[in-house]
Amino acid sequence: MKTERAYKYRFYPMPEQEILLARTFGCVRFVWNAVLRHRTDAFYQRQEKIGYNDASAFLTQLKKQPDTVFLAEVSSVPLQQCLRHQQSAFKHFFAKRARYPRFKSKKQRQSATFASSAFVYRNGQITLAKCQESLDIRWSRELPSAPSTVTVSKDQAGRYFISCLCKVDAESLPITPKMVGIDLGLKDLFVTSDGKRANNPRHTVRHARKLARAQRQLSRKQKGSNNRAKAKRKVARR
């Protein structure tokens, strides 16, 4: 049986790729917010639910406006994938499994999803649509198969990542009648019902002092300044 699994890697874009990704992130964020505003107004003002097809038609009209010609500078696939993600978010909201979708900000994590028609995977390299060169990916492990979609993201620390969704064979584990209880703790990471203990490595203790120092430096920076933005990225890396 086949199942899907995501594999995440760090990559380092070239200056031209970084500019294109910044444009793509901005366009995805713009489309998300514009369509979300359209759906919110329709719901609260006219008690009308906007589905995926209506949202896609709204995006088509949005691209034709003179002040949104910049949407044509990036691949259309991430914009369409953005609508699918929003449709899924509304589905979870109406099923009472999640909160109402929120507007996106450029200060948050940025991401864009590319379907198989918007990238090329060849000889272990991935080239996104409208990019001349392949991405400089740090392959920590091999992909089990060609990815069906890839999601490119940039965190608040300015680091770039790519997540590849691949189909893999689901491994069936043998059925066993044994059962074990696990108790999480502070002194020990966990203790099992059969007496086994695992030491707590306390990884956060090593970085707590550095994080506290970086947070104090951030609190002294003037809001809106470049130095505060640099200090914020430093905190995000801790």
- Domain ranges, ordered by start, for the chain: 2-169, 175-238
Helices (H), the chain: 15-46, 52-63, 76-94, 203-220, 226-237
How many helices (H) and strands (E) are present in the chain, helices listed first? 5, 10
Q: In this predicted structure, what is the pLDDT of residue 238?
A: 66
User: Taking the model in full, what pTM does it have?
Assistant: 0.81
Which tokens is 58 given? 């709204």
Percent of the chain with pLDDT over 70: 100
Say whether pLDDT at 237 is over 80. no
Q: How far apart are the C-alpha atoms of 88 and 132, rounded to whole Å?
A: 32
pLDDT at 222: 87
The values of phi and psi at residue 112, to 5°, are: -150, 135
Of 52-66, 74-88, 145-159, 203-217, least confident by mean pLDDT is: 203-217
What are the structure tokens assigned to 43, written together?
A: 């719901």
- Alpha carbon of 204 to those of 31, 213, 214: distances in Å? 38, 14, 15
Whether the pLDDT of residue 234 is over 90: the answer is: no
DSSP-assigned letter for residue 71: G
pLDDT (mean) for 95-121: 93
